Amino acid sequence: MLRNAPKFYEVAKRIVEITEDCILVAHNADFDYRILKTEFRRLGFPFKRKTLCTVELSKQLIPDMESYSLGKLARALGIAVSDRHRANGDAMATVALFKMLLNKDLDKTIIKDAVKIEQQSKLAPNLKEIIEDLPSETGVYYIHNANGSIIYIGKSNNIKKRITQHFTNSNSKSKKIQLQVATVTYEKTGSELVALLKESAEIKVNKPALNRALKRSKFSQGLYSSLDNDGYLNLHISALRKDKTPITTFTNRQGAISFMNNMIETYDLCPKLCGISKSKTSCFRYDIKACNGACIKEESAVDYNKRALNVIELNRYTNKNMVLIDRGRTIGEKSAILIEDGVFKGLGFFNLNLQINNRDILSTLITPMDNNRDTQHIIQSYMRRNKRIKIIDLASTI
């Protein structure tokens, strides 16, 4: 291989061209960078570039690993490595590792530092040039000022389209963005759920100046249950209460009522016992032979409650251990959202050939994230709206 390889001076010009205005990312970057500088010094050329080391980043963002060698990290994290110890194989494995590290860096320290060290001329392109470099894909985007600071975080199913709207709208927020923006970075997620969760978490961590505080009233309605004096399980919609945990939540009452009507139709529930009908006798569905008569005690509480419990089980994840599988960033990849004992633990990405119903593998793949009221709302709402999402019950697989 070396006998037929080009000499360094034959490729030196190309190395300068492809690394100009770039940050070199390598596993044990000091070693690779030292080799490059030595070879260029022999040619009388002062080669100087910024570097990022995936060994150091891995130690910060994935602590307590047995080893931080590229091979062992790749095996532990489910990164496929082909052509090991060859330039292309190791480089592609490092790319996959770096993407995972970017995903785990909730503080966005890597991106903010990278933007800040770029030349000033690169930080102030016109808005059209910024848009041209953006993908028309699902993900989270970060709008930076000239100091590299994040001034706005958002999520979209089409990043390019959304940024175009920011740059062309005339509302107060858009005008502030247009005035302060220097560059836009982004993170593809594939999954809208992952984008929603990352957006919520990273706004809390980074507190961008132009993001409005997340409104607690974003999800204003909840689904609750209670037993009446006759033993029938009643479902009802009401404003969220601090003293009681809802089965699931809704952004507004109209959406909640629409959901309840759908559940009544699907599970043959009684509108009166679901708070939809205010009749003092039988409900209107009984009059058209569509209700089994729980409202006037013709159907037993035992039979009726079985169907009502199905609705509750379907729409809550309290005390559940499961992984939600959704779209990934590329073909052959999926996203995973981990819930243990009804608590959101975090999210990650994995290749389809990886068996993720293993706790040890899951713990390395998942980026830990805070469980809070917002994450619960986001996950429950998404599960309700997207029936195609795959759910793996950990209790039955592990």
CA angle 101, 155, 249 (to 5 degrees): 105
> From 1.20.210.10, 3.40.50.2300, 3.30.420.10, 3.20.20.70, which CATH number describes the 8-104 domain?
3.30.420.10
Tell me which residue of 259, 192, 265, 195 sits closest to 221, measured CA to CA.
259
Name the pLDDT band for 398 (thresholds 50, 70, 90).
Answer: very low
CATH of domain 110-214: 3.40.1440.10
Name the pLDDT band for 314 (thresholds 50, 70, 90).
Answer: confident
Q: Any bridge partners for residue 93, and if so which?
A: none
Q: Is the pLDDT of residue 218 over 80?
A: no
**In 203-342, at which residue ranges do the beta strands (DSSP E only) sit?**
221-227, 233-239, 248-250, 322-327, 333-340
Give the Cβ contact number of residue 84 at 10 Å: 11
| Locus of tokens 């247009």 | 178
Residue type, position 43, single letter: L
Name the pLDDT band for 245 (thresholds 50, 70, 90).
Answer: confident
- Determine the pLDDT at residue 119: 36
As annotated, the residues of the chain forming the CATH 3.40.1440.10 domain(s) are: 110-214
Phi/psi at 76 (nearest 5 deg)? -65, -30
- Determine the pLDDT at residue 60: 86
- Determine the pLDDT at residue 114: 60
pLDDT of 47-95, one tens digit each? 888 888 899 889 888 888 888 889 888 888 888 777 776 788 889 999 9
pLDDT of 177-186, one tens digit each? 988 999 999 9
What is the Cα–Cα distance from 352 to 80, expressed in whole angstroms? 11
Name the pLDDT band for 115 (thresholds 50, 70, 90).
Answer: low
Q: What is the pTM of this model?
A: 0.63
| Alpha-carbon dihedral 90, 95, 99, 104, rounded to 10 degrees | 40
Section 276-285 average pLDDT:
87
Share of the chain above pLDDT 70, in %: 92
Tell me which residue of 74, 125, 98, 132 sits closest to 24, measured CA to CA.
98
Section 27-53 average pLDDT:
88
pLDDT of 321-356, one tens digit each? 889 999 999 988 999 999 988 889 999 998 876 666
What is the Cα–Cα distance from 59 to 159, expressed in whole angstroms? 31
